[in-house]
């Protein structure tokens, strides 16, 4: 109950940290998106204002050009001149005083409204006159190819404009206004206007976006650093609590070991006496010998339990034939397992010798095989132990593979944690003891598992001579 309570307490401690990080990231996202949205909305509003301003200017220019009357050249070429002859007529018109008067009116309007350019066009997009006097009358407007759609709308009586376009570091906008003579559209006014603050707004928006991104990254880095520090603190706190429990266990097991050894001594003595009174080849004699073996193993387990609690140093190791150890353990296990459980062993052709402590090795193999058989479903399954020797690395690998239910990923992360167990009556000491014993023999252990597929345990020992 105390262990479960401690784990629950640590989980609650982690919860506020995770919630804080989520809130932090969410707040940064909302802040950045709202800032970008506000800047873009402001930019759109200014673009709308510039459009309205340009339309007002266009209306004033239209009225000015129509006063006292529409330039006569426009209705003339629209109604009476064939399309192929219009350029020639417009070129001739440029030499008249009427043309110069029209151009002066356009120039005055451009200067009065601070425009980039004003041009008078035919409905076909040919230049009649322009305020800057940098085009030839009768030529096609230099923007005809770009603004075909807008010009076509204006020639049909609609006010049309194009989006902002950029020249170097400035933004401009063009608007096309139809010139009517009665019910007919006889010409088009082309206005080009510089919008000075659009470039500044877009520059500010880009800078604000970059600053918000950099600021967010800095905050995230700081947050992640704090999170890692807190995570390490919690991990150290959890490790300290585990160490405290193990130290307490070490003190407790000294008394338990004494109580266990007394009845074990009596059992061992009675088994020896019974074995001496039986026929050497009888099954009863074999069973009595097995009792003696398991009694000694139980005494060794008690010693190993104490060894793990005291964080053991390196155990004394000898050269051991792993095949003999595995075969004896399998023979013992088959007596107590269901008939639908198959335990098989695969050995190399040559004898496989490893450097290990005999008692610790027996305990490790037995513990792993028991776990494998207990992981099988009620319908049974297979447990296979494979021994492989790698002469190049002087490492012998022992693989125990089962076809059981597998281990969940979250459970797999904690299987070596003392006192953690998913079994109803488990102590949570089997695998921690196994790892402690392996480390004391300069050996290692890896476990891979997939739910519904089974588990594979690989342990590696130094190869003996």
Q: What is the 3-state secondary structure (H, E, C) of 200-230?
A: HHHHHHHHHHHHHHHHHHHHHHHHHHHHHHH
| Residue-averaged pLDDT of the chain | 81
pLDDT given for residue 455 in this prediction: 93
Give the pLDDT score at 246.
62
Lookup: tokens for 239 = 């490790």
- pLDDT tens readout for residues 109-167: 888 888 888 899 999 999 999 888 888 898 999 888 888 999 999 999 998 888 777 77
pLDDT at 12 over 60: no
pLDDT value at 308 more than 70: no
Question: What distance in Å separates the CA atoms of residue 195 and residue 189, rounded to the nearest whole number?
Answer: 19
- Of the pLDDT bands very low, low, confident and very high (cuts 50, 70, 90), residue 387 is very high
- Tell me the CA distances in angstroms from 218 to 29, 44, 407, one per residue in order: 14, 30, 40
Which tokens is 46 given? Answer: 């200014």
Between CA 56 and CA 36 the distance in angstroms is 30
Adjacent-strand bridge partners of 187: 179
Query: What domains can be seen in the chain, in order of their start residue?
Result: 2-201 (3.30.450.20), 312-462 (3.30.565.10)
Output Rg (C-alpha) for the chain, integer angstroms: 46
- Cβ-contact 304, 438 below 8 angstroms: no
Give ∠ CA 154-160-164 in degrees, rounded to 5: 140
Tokens encoding 270: 């009675």
- Comparing 46-60, 197-211, 331-345, 355-369, the range with the smallest average pLDDT is 197-211
Per-residue pLDDT reduced to its tens digit, 18-73: 676 677 777 777 777 777 777 777 777 777 777 787 888 888 888 877 777 788 88
For residue 149, say if its preceding peptide bond is cis, omega within 30 degrees of 0: no
The per-residue pLDDT for 16 is 62
**Contacts for 272 with CB less than 8 Å, ≥ 6 apart:** 292
The structure tokens listed for 232 are 């390490």
Contact call for residues 375 and 402 (beta carbons, < 8 A): yes
Q: Using the predicted structure, report yes or no on whether residue 6 has a pLDDT greater than 50.
A: no
Kindly state the tokens that stand for 462: 């130094």
Bin 350: left if φ > 0, else alpha if -120 < ψ < 50, else beta: beta
In angstroms, the first-to-last Cα distance of the chain is 49
Q: What are phi and psi of 41, to 5 degrees?
A: -65, -40
């Amino acid at each position: 109950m105390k262990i479960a309570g401690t784990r629950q307490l640590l989980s609650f401690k982690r919860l506020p940290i995770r919630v804080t990080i989520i809130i932090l990231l969410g707040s940064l996202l909302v802040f950045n998106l709202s800032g970008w949205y506000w800047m873009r909305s402001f930019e759109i509003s200014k673009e709308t204002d510039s459009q309205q301003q340009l339309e007002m200017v266009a209306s004033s220019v239209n009225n000015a050009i129509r006063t006292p009357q529409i330039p006569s050249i426009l209705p003339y070429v629209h109604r009476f001149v064939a399309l192929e002859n219009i350029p020639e007529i417009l070129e001739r018109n440029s030499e008249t005083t009427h043309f110069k008067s029209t151009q002066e009116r356009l120039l005055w309007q451009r200067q009065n409204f601070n425009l980039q350019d004003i041009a008078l066009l035919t409905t076909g997009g040919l230049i009649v006159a322009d305020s800057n006097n940098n085009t030839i009358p009768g030529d096609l407007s230099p923007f005809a190819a770009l603004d075909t759609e807008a010009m076509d709308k204006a020639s049909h009586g609609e006010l049309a404009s194009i989006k902002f376009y950029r020249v170097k570091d400035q933004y401009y906008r063009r608007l096309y206004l139809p010139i009517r003579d009665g019910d007919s559209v006889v010409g088009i006014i082309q206005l080009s206007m510089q919008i000075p603050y659009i470039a500044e707004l877009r520059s500010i928006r880009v800078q604000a976006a970059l600053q918000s991104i950099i600021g967010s990254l800095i905050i995230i880095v700081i947050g992640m650093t704090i999170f890692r520090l807190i995570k390490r603190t919690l991990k150290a706190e959890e490790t300290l609590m585990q160490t405290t429990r193990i130290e307490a266990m070490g003190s407790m097991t000294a008394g338990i070991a004494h109580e266990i050894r007394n009845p074990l001594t009596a059992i061992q003595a009675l088994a020896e006496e019974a074995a001496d009174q039986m026929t050497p080849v009888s099954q009863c004699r074999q069973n009595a010998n097995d009792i003696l073996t398991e009694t000694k193993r139980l005494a060794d387990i008690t010693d190993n339990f104490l060894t793990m609690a005291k964080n053991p140093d390196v155990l004394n190791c000898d050269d051991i034939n792993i095949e003999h150890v595995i075969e004896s353990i399998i023979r013992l296990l088959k007596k107590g397992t269901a008939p639908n459980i198959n335990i098989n062993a695969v050995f190399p052709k040559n004898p496989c010798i490893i450097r290990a402590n005999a008692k610790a090795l027996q305990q490790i193999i037995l513990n792993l095989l028991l776990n494998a058989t207990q992981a099988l479903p009620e319908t049974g399954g297979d447990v296979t132990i494979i021994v492989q020797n790698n002469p190049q690395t002087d490492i012998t690998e022992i693989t125990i593979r089962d076809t059981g239910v597998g281990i969940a990923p979250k459970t797999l992360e904690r299987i070596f944690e003392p006192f953690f167990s998913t079994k109803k009556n488990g102590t949570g000491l089997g695998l921690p003891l196994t790892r402690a014993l392996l480390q004391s023999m300069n050996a290692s252990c890896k476990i891979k598992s997939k739910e519904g597929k089974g588990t594979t345990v690989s342990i590696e020992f130094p190869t003996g001579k």
